[in-house]
């Protein structure tokens, strides 16, 4: 089993219900160990739609990285995200592999660790809440130390 961190977000429809359904579906193949509180954030990076509800799951899995990606994409589709979803559009659910153990993967299909994990407060704050000591596999430093160096501080999220 390998520990993985999965980012979750929704800015379309009943956000809380969709995120909770996503967690329930994810638990069919992953053993969820911890879950951050939900945080609310404004859309960024040109994404349309309403405010996002975001969170992070720490889980264990036997799935290989590409199998995990495929599984998460199937969950997204089941919850109303079209397979041909365009970047920048509102989404019913977004499930991202943030970290897969200490693996570094750069392929056409998959980039791990997630390329913008340290740039997005709506991802970094939930990560700091549940795994502040997680070692970033490229930087070889704890997330909390990276956040402190960047002057970022854990913000309390909305439930």
Task: Supply the pLDDT for residue 36.
Answer: 97
Q: Which tokens in the block code for residue 16?
A: 């809380």
**CATH superfamily, with its number, for domain 2-149:** 7,8-Dihydro-6-hydroxymethylpterin-pyrophosphokinase HPPK (3.30.70.560)
Nearest Cα residue to 125 out of 157, 89, 93, 103: 157
| Burial of 24 from C-beta contacts in 10 A (0-12 / 13-18 / 19+) | exposed
Tens of each residue's pLDDT in the chain, 159 residues: 999 999 999 999 899 999 999 999 999 999 999 999 999 998 888 888 889 999 999 999 999 999 999 999 999 999 998 888 777 788 899 999 999 999 999 999 999 999 889 888 899 999 999 999 999 999 999 999 998 887 766 554 443
Number of Cβ atoms within 10 Å of the Cβ of 67? 12
Structure-block tokens of residue 33: 């160990």
Give the three-class secondary structure for 52: strand
Per-residue model confidence (pLDDT) at position 157: 43
Domain boundaries, the chain: 2-149
| Residue 60 DSSP SS3 | strand
Residue 55's pLDDT is 96
pLDDT tens, 119-136? Answer: 888 999 999 999 999 999
pLDDT at 159: 36
| Among 134, 6, 142, residue whose Cα is nearest residue 68 | 6
Q: What is the pTM of this model?
A: 0.92
Q: What is the reported pLDDT for 93?
A: 95
């Amino acid at each position: 089993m390998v520990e993985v961190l999965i980012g979750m977000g929704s800015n379309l429809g009943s956000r809380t219900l969709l995120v909770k359904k996503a967690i329930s579906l994810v638990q069919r193949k992953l053993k969820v160990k911890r879950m951050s509180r939900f945080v609310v954030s404004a859309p960024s990076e040109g994404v349309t739609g309403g405010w996002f509800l975001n969170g992070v799951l720490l889980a264990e899995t036997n799935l290989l990285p590409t199998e995990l990606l495929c599984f998460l994409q199937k969950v997204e589709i089941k919850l109303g995200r079209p397979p041909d979803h365009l970047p920048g559009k509102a989404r019913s659910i977004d499930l991202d592999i943030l970290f897969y153990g200490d693996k570094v993967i750069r392929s056409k299909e998959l980039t791990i660790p997630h390329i913008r994990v340290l740039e997005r407060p709506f991802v970094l704050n939930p990560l700091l809440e549940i795994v502040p000591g997680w070692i970033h596999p490229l930087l070889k430093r704890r997330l909390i130390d990276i956040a402190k160096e960047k002057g970022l501080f854990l913000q309390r999220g909305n439930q």
